[in-house]
Amino acid sequence: MYSPRIYLYKITFDEVPYYYYGVKKEKYFNEEYWGSPYTNKWCWELYTPKKQILQFFDFTDEGWVEAQKIENRLIKPFYNSDKWCLNENCNGILSLKILKKAGKKSAETHKNNNTGLYNVPLYKRIESGKRAYELGVGVHSRTKEQMSEDGKKGAKKQQELCIGIHGKTKEQMSEDGKKGAKKTNSQRWICIETGFISNAGALTHYQRVRNIDTSKRKLDELAQEHLILGALSGIIIS
């Protein structure tokens, strides 16, 4: 008696102002459906969703294509700009949140497999950076004014979305700073020319005083291991 439908819908929640747009092609009439979120599925599980059907389309291939076009036009003004919008994909373009997670996962994979940048010694990376600076390519092809303007835009966007540093309390930022300093100071580096071993900051001072290229260093794994063992046994190794 009733045929399946194609429709555009909006999901809202009783307790919070989050929302989500989507399109549905039913398998049968009045099929129960509440969206198919992946990243933000927690919102459906934690709060009470409500569905509003905004528009119906012909149950044809053309109708399905038209529904998706209108969905994308509807999401675009809010996508990556409104923190309450739960959509993570707009016309094939992934959200900043998804891209960040993908980048982090890729970096972890390279680190675990010792590939990518993790397969290139630090001094080699520094040399490549100096070479790029000399040739004026990559980030060095942009003027200071352009980079400053990009930085301001990025900071403003983060502030609007309450992400990055703007999404943390002063206590959290202070704790992150302490952890970063502790990690940096615990590492032991060796000067390739003289064999002198110390932390990164002290080694930089040591090499500059002696006119040694600061890129001529590497992380000393043996000294690092001794440092950890010494800390575990209560011995301070300088």
- Asked if residue 12 lies in contact with residue 50, where contact means CB atoms within 8 angstroms, the answer is yes
Q: Is 98's pLDDT higher than 50?
A: no
Residues 12 and 86 in one domain: yes
Residue 40 reports pLDDT greater than 80: yes
Q: What distances in angstroms separate CA 205 from CA 191, 197, 212, 224, one per listed residue? A: 11, 12, 10, 20
Residues 6+ apart with CB under 8 A from 160: 81
Q: Which of 137, 167, 197 is the last residue of a domain?
A: 167
Q: Please give the Cα distance from 185 to 56 (Å, whole number).
A: 62
Would you say residue 109 lies in a domain? no
Within a domain: 189: yes
Structural domain boundaries, residue 23: 6-91
pLDDT confidence of residue 93: 44
What six digits make up the tokens of 69?
Answer: 């076009």
Shared-domain flag, residues 139 and 183: no
Q: 217 with 154, same domain?
A: no
pLDDT at 37: 75
Q: Could you say which of 138, 167, 196 is where a domain stops?
A: 167
Give the number of domains in the chain. 3
Q: Which amino acid is at 57?
A: F
**Other C-beta atoms within 10 Å of 14: how many?**
8
Residues forming a β-bridge with 93: 90
Q: What distance in Å separates the CA atoms of residue 230 and residue 224, rounded to the nearest whole number?
A: 10
Number of H helices, E strands in the chain: 8, 8
Same domain for 35 and 73, yes or no, is yes
pLDDT at 94 over 50: no
182 inside domain: yes
Predicted pLDDT of residue 74: 86
pLDDT at 99: 44
Residue 162, pLDDT > 80, answer no
11 and 87 belong to one structural domain: yes
| Contact between 238 and 199 (Cβ < 8 Å) | no
Tokens representing residue 209 in the block: 């005083």
The 10s digit of each residue's pLDDT in 62-83 is 999 999 999 988 888 887 778 8
Task: With a cut of 70, say whether residue 12 has pLDDT above it.
Answer: yes
Cα separation of 107 and 112, whole Å? Answer: 9
Distance CA 98, CA 163 (A): 13
Most confident range (mean pLDDT) of 18-32, 78-92, 207-221 is: 18-32
CA angle 169, 172, 173 (to 5 degrees): 90
Is 190 found in the same domain as 155? no
Determine the residue type at 77: P
Q: Would residue 102 count as lying in a domain?
A: no
80, 15: one domain: yes
Q: How confident is the model at residue 13 (pLDDT cuts 50, 70, 90)?
A: very high
180-220: pLDDT as tens digits: 666 666 678 889 889 888 888 888 889 988 999 988 888 76
